Structure 1
Amino acid sequence: MTQIDDIKSRVDIVELVASYVNLQRSGNSYKANCPFHQERTPSFYVFADRQSWRCFGACAEGGDALSFVMKAERLDFREALHRLGARVGVVIEDRNTSGVGDQLYQINDAARRYFQRLLDEPEGKFVRDYLADRGLNDQTIQMFELGYSPPRDNRLLAHLTEVGHTRELVAQAGLARETDDGRYYDLFRGRLIIPIRDWSGRVAGFGSRALNADAVAKYLNTPRTPVFDKSRILYAMHLAKEPVRQKGVVVVEGYMDAIMAHQHGFDNVVASMGTAVTEQQVALVRRLTTHVTMALDGDPAGRNATLRSLESSWGVFQQRNARASQAGAVSVLQRSEAMEMLVAELPSGQDPDDFIRATPQEWPAFVAGASPLFEYLLASLSARADLNNADDKAWVAQTMLRFVAQVPDAIRRDLYLDELSVRLRVNSETLRSAMRTVGRSPGRRAGGETPPATADAATPAPSRTEDVAEEYCLAMLLQHWDELGPEAAIAVSADWFERSEHREIYRSILRARSGGENGSDGGEMAEILVAPEVESHLNLLRARELMLASTSRLEQAWKQIRLGIEKEFLNKEISQLLTVLQDEADWESPAARQVQAGKERVREINQELAGVT
């Protein structure tokens, strides 16, 4: 889980609020005089079951533990998060701070220009010869901005500091390292340099290949920085967006594989940079296509590692499909078709770079011949086993069941089990019984969901319907502000968002339009600044797919999602008020009138929703 969710899971809101005010038990809730305004009769309630609080008096506000600390201590989101983290013993990583990200992008771009210039100079001739031997032409070298890092004398560091960047920031960008005695040195030395641009086309980091046979590391990437995390980037996606939208995406492992593909006109190819596909990468792809083909090296020695990578990637796809299914019950925003992962394996000993250089005319047929992952794995594993041998057959079955157990849809799970039963000649009920054991095995979550491959993939699936609706509302504001207009955001209230993270993002969107929380001047969208701990979630919302075919579809979807979250908010508030009224037996109170007003508004919303086609 994310650090925010980790902190929330450790906080007992009743205990938290009780450290500020004297709470009294009131049925299933707790009450007190509101700490935020003067009153004689308690109107402030804490609901342990939902880990939330609400003032039904003059404040008319509520929220979760984070929003309570923000209001009680007059802190911003990040300060409150750190305060809560300290309370429950969670140390929050010191991530990017405002303004630093822009500086790191500037440093990376300055380094990119420096590396490119050196490649064109006489000392870079042997690198140009190496690239020519690899089959790359000048146009491709320029398109992918390839460069050369000098082998000694810390020349990049000297250049960057000479043009005004501090050594500390150069190190924070991952281009230099600091020794124990406080000296700095270039990270990339004597290497072919491959700039890595993110979804927005900014130089976020670098990949590199050693040109000296004695180098300790053949390949070396920028380490994780505030702006570079390879689990969140697909190499060459900034060039491939439109081709991917039209033709689907082909995912290869290495930089050179993607570069060679583009040189031969296969411009829908991107690289995962040697890692299993992560949730963040799938979120980017899902915005463009549901058709994903993994092009695997024909490497028999690496098959076990490939199997682990495919299992992790499959798990991410299943989590994404589970989210899409959950969202489909709420709004019209999600396309009905699931993402399917196809696999194409190259001949033994070849990678895409080799294959395309040798036989580029065969690449389209190779991709078109890809098989669904389940079929590919079953065929591949069966070819490696003797299915007349009980131990081999059990190994194939157990391996396949690990994949089937991750499928969220019960019908699709049954179809896979039936196919497995026929192919392995094993009773289907035996397989179902064995899968229940697989689902309970260590390292696997209840319901067959696979833990993320990396900590960076650990953004949890929303656990409640309203979380999904809130995310779609924010995603629409982020991606379609110009079409919706400033009135759209003003028509939404921050109170409607249950999660403090979502309130933080919503308020930041409004601030970015320079109109504050009460309006907008309709100007150009400024940079959306949020707490660093929320940036990954903000990026996921920016990348969330909202397949809307027309302006009218957008307007319908927006109306449905806006009314939906208002209705959810009102229903929750009515439920809380009814709990309070049952405990207090005061049906003539302002709370009772709020219930009636809330019910009337819900009826109006239902009528409006009925008119949305």
Structure 2
Amino acid sequence: MKGYIPEDRIEEIRNRVNIVDLVSEYVTLKKAGRNYLGSCPFHKEKTPSFTVNAEKQIYHCFGCGEGGNAFSFLMKINSMTFPEAVRHLAGKLGIPLPAREFTPEEKGHQDLREILLRVNHLAAGYYARAMRLPAGTRGKAYLEKRGIKPEVIETFQLGYAPEGWRNLRDHLQREKVPLKQAEQAGLLVSRKDGDFYDRFRGRLMFPIEDVNGNVIAFGGRIIGEGEPKYLNSPESPLYVKGRNLYGLARAKNAIRRDETLIIVEGYFDLLALWNHGIPNVAATLGTALTREHVDLIKRYTGSVALTFDADTGGKAALERSMSLFLERGLRAKAVVLPDGKDPDEFISKHGKEAFLEEIARARALVDYYIDEVIGQGTNID
């Protein structure tokens, strides 16, 4: 049967998994008598009420009522299906499962996806190492100038693409990567003579991850003079820009804990919030919000705080996103920062508490639109 997982394998996983170890990957637990205690990852609380029982291999939150076993914990925290949770735990425990059956077309697509993920993984490692070498001094200095903390740099695997046309190309070739596949990943560009050169050169590099933490694309910011200021990977079998939000993979637990997602536009808006201890944030990277974005957000929260520019373009984007949030039943707030500042500028000048106050006092998106756009007769065509 296609995709069937034998019941005895599921039972073996259930018996071998250690729920304390599993939950500890997401929650800081402390021994409390026979149980372990921590702050619930599924709702915001001041007093820890999330307990894990090692003997019974279950968890329960006395605050929000969430509870279950290792499978249900993974399904809830990572928005997985039951088979996905089973296969994830089987992989961690080294328990073999029957391979899922694919059609020839699906098999080809899956094989290409795995190849491109490996290429991107190698590239992310290369860029991160390059920034620690003399060739990456400019990238490191730029991040220091922007005040980005080392732990934030490490969390987001920030790196540097050195000047030169063949640095990554030659590295991937040494790693036995077919260069044509590196081109498919958007990392290399083909030349007329059939050879390839690096797409990203002299740029600070931002790996873009899917919700499972796989690197699917990159963004690069030029250091010094040059255009374009920001360069993103082209769309590929891995990456469709209207379906991904930068930073969401790293924010999932904080979004559930704080019960809201803050949406910003740029890389440095997001990094600045992380710098100040606000991790429940994702960035659109200048892309208009899509139905796919909103459906993705809805997997983790029903509440959104949307930061946007107060100019005409920002108001037009507000109207488009408002209809999507209403259509999908999400609560959305419009966060307009004073003096037209973006989140990076505002929080760097005024600090975390002032930013959170702006979030708290923000009006519902519909109310803002009625008052500020329709009420003032703004022409957004």
- After TM superposition, the score normalised by the length of structure 1 is 0.43
CA distance in 2, matches of 1:293, 1:374: 12
Structure 2 SS opposite 1:196: strand
Structure 2 SS opposite 1:306: helix
- Given the alignment, which residue of 265, 271, 296 partners 2:277? 265
Structure 1 SS opposite 2:335: strand
Question: In the TM superposition, what whole-angstrom CA distance separates every residue of 1:330-359 from its partner, at most 9, and x where no partner exists?
Answer: xxxxxxxx3122111112341111111111
- Given the alignment, which residue of 234, 252, 268 partners 1:223? 234
Query: Which amino acid is 2:254 matched to?
Result: P
CA distance in 2, matches of 1:282, 1:171: 30
- Given the alignment, which residue of 109, 123, 127 partners 1:115? 127
CA distance in 2, matches of 1:96, 1:257: 38
Could you tell me how far 1:173 is from its partner in structure 2? 0.4
Question: In the TM superposition, what whole-angstrom CA distance separates every residue of 1:144-192 from its partner, at most 9, and x where no partner exists?
Answer: 1110001113110110011010110000000011123323111001000
Find the counterpart in structure 1 of residue 26 from structure 2. Answer: none
Find the counterpart in structure 2 of residue 137 from structure 1. Answer: 149
Could you tell me how far 1:370 is from its partner in structure 2? 1.5
**Equivalences for residues 283-298 of structure 1 within 5 A:** 283-298=295-310
**Equivalences for residues 505-584 of structure 1 within 5 A:** none
Find the counterpart in structure 1 of residue 34 from structure 2. Answer: none
Q: Is the alpha carbon distance of 1:116 and 1:244 closer, same or farther for their aligned partners in structure 2, counting shifts above 3 Å?
A: same
Find the counterpart in structure 1 of residue 8 from structure 2. Answer: none
Could you tell me how far 1:209 is from its partner in structure 2? 0.5
CA distance in 2, matches of 1:146, 1:206: 10
CA distance in 1, matches of 2:315, 2:308: 11
Find the counterpart in structure 1 of residue 23 from structure 2. Answer: none
Structure 2 residue 255 is the aligned partner of structure 1 residue 244? yes
CA distance in 2, matches of 1:114, 1:77: 35
Could you tell me how far 1:316 is from its partner in structure 2? 2.3
Contact 1:275 1:309 in 2 (8 A): no
CA distance in 2, matches of 1:169, 1:289: 36
Question: In the TM superposition, what whole-angstrom CA distance separates every residue of 1:402-448 from its partner, at most 9, and x where no partner exists?
Answer: 9xxxxxxxxxxxxxxxxxxxxxxxxxxxxxxxxxxxxxxxxxxxxxx
CA distance in 2, matches of 1:122, 1:280: 41
Could you tell me how far 1:133 is from its partner in structure 2? 0.9
Rg (Cα) greater in structure = 1
Structure 1 unaligned blocks of 5 or more:
1-75, 80-93, 321-337, 386-391, 403-613
**Equivalences for residues 455-534 of structure 1 within 5 A:** none
CA distance in 1, matches of 2:191, 2:313: 34
Question: In the TM superposition, what whole-angstrom CA distance separates every residue of 1:499-529 from its partner, at most 9, and x where no partner exists?
Answer: xxxxxxxxxxxxxxxxxxxxxxxxxxxxxxx
Contact 1:231 1:277 in 2 (8 A): yes
Structure 1 SS opposite 2:165: coil
Find the counterpart in structure 2 of residue 170 from structure 1. Answer: 182
Could you tell me how far 1:317 is from its partner in structure 2? 2.2
Contact 2:332 2:364 in 1 (8 A): yes
CA distance in 1, matches of 2:104, 2:347: 49
Could you tell me how far 1:235 is from its partner in structure 2? 1.0
Find the counterpart in structure 1 of residue 362 from structure 2. Answer: 370
CA distance in 2, matches of 1:318, 1:269: 20
Find the counterpart in structure 2 of residue 30 from structure 1. Answer: none
**Equivalences for residues 414-453 of structure 1 within 5 A:** none
Could you tell me how far 1:308 is from its partner in structure 2? 2.8
Structure 2 SS opposite 1:204: strand
Find the counterpart in structure 2 of residue 233 from structure 1. Answer: 244
CA distance in 2, matches of 1:102, 1:359: 44
Could you tell me how far 1:233 is from its partner in structure 2? 1.1
Contact 2:264 2:307 in 1 (8 A): yes
Contact 1:276 1:310 in 2 (8 A): no
Find the counterpart in structure 1 of residue 318 from structure 2. Answer: 310
Structure 2 SS opposite 1:177: strand
CA distance in 1, matches of 2:266, 2:363: 21
- Given the alignment, which residue of 218, 237, 243 partners 1:206? 218
Structure 1 SS opposite 2:208: strand
Q: Is the alpha carbon distance of 1:78 and 1:164 closer, same or farther for their aligned partners in structure 2, counting shifts above 3 Å?
A: closer
Find the counterpart in structure 2 of residue 541 from structure 1. Answer: none
**Equivalences for residues 258-407 of structure 1 within 5 A:** 258-298=270-310, 303-320=311-328, 338-360=329-351, 361-381=353-373, 385=376, 392=377
CA distance in 1, matches of 2:322, 2:253: 25
Contact 2:266 2:286 in 1 (8 A): yes
Percent same amino acid at aligned positions? 33
Could you tell me how far 1:223 is from its partner in structure 2? 0.6
Pairwise CA RMSD: 2.3
Query: Which amino acid is 1:114 matched to?
Result: Y
Give 1 or 2: higher helix fraction.
1
Q: Is the alpha carbon distance of 1:78 and 1:99 closer, same or farther for their aligned partners in structure 2, counting shifts above 3 Å?
A: closer
CA distance in 2, matches of 1:96, 1:358: 51
Contact 1:253 1:274 in 2 (8 A): yes
CA distance in 2, matches of 1:294, 1:343: 5
Could you tell me how far 1:263 is from its partner in structure 2? 1.6
Q: Is the alpha carbon distance of 1:204 and 1:126 closer, same or farther for their aligned partners in structure 2, counting shifts above 3 Å?
A: same
Could you tell me how far 1:96 is from its partner in structure 2? 7.1
Could you tell me how far 1:225 is from its partner in structure 2? 0.5
Query: Which amino acid is 1:379 matched to?
Result: D
Could you tell me how far 1:311 is from its partner in structure 2? 2.6
Structure 2 residue 205 is the aligned partner of structure 1 residue 193? yes
Find the counterpart in structure 1 of residue 95 from structure 2. Answer: none
- Given the alignment, which residue of 105, 130, 137 partners 1:125? 137
Structure 2 SS opposite 1:99: helix
CA distance in 2, matches of 1:78, 1:317: 38
Contact 1:171 1:177 in 2 (8 A): yes
Question: In the TM superposition, what whole-angstrom CA distance separates every residue of 1:481-503 from its partner, at most 9, and x where no partner exists?
Answer: xxxxxxxxxxxxxxxxxxxxxxx
CA distance in 1, matches of 2:358, 2:270: 15
CA distance in 2, matches of 1:153, 1:104: 21
Structure 1 SS opposite 2:338: coil
CA distance in 2, matches of 1:101, 1:129: 35
Contact 2:138 2:223 in 1 (8 A): no
CA distance in 1, matches of 2:249, 2:274: 12
Instruction: Kindly tell me the number of residue pairs found equivalent between the two proteins.
Output: 278
Contact 1:149 1:188 in 2 (8 A): yes
Query: Which amino acid is 1:202 matched to?
Result: N
Query: Which amino acid is 1:241 matched to?
Result: K
Structure 1 SS opposite 2:282: strand
CA distance in 2, matches of 1:363, 1:349: 14
Find the counterpart in structure 2 of residue 180 from structure 1. Answer: 192
- After TM superposition, the score normalised by the length of structure 2 is 0.69
CA distance in 2, matches of 1:209, 1:168: 25
Could you tell me how far 1:95 is from its partner in structure 2? 12
Could you tell me how far 1:364 is from its partner in structure 2? 0.8
Contact 1:95 1:226 in 2 (8 A): no
Structure 1 SS opposite 2:289: coil
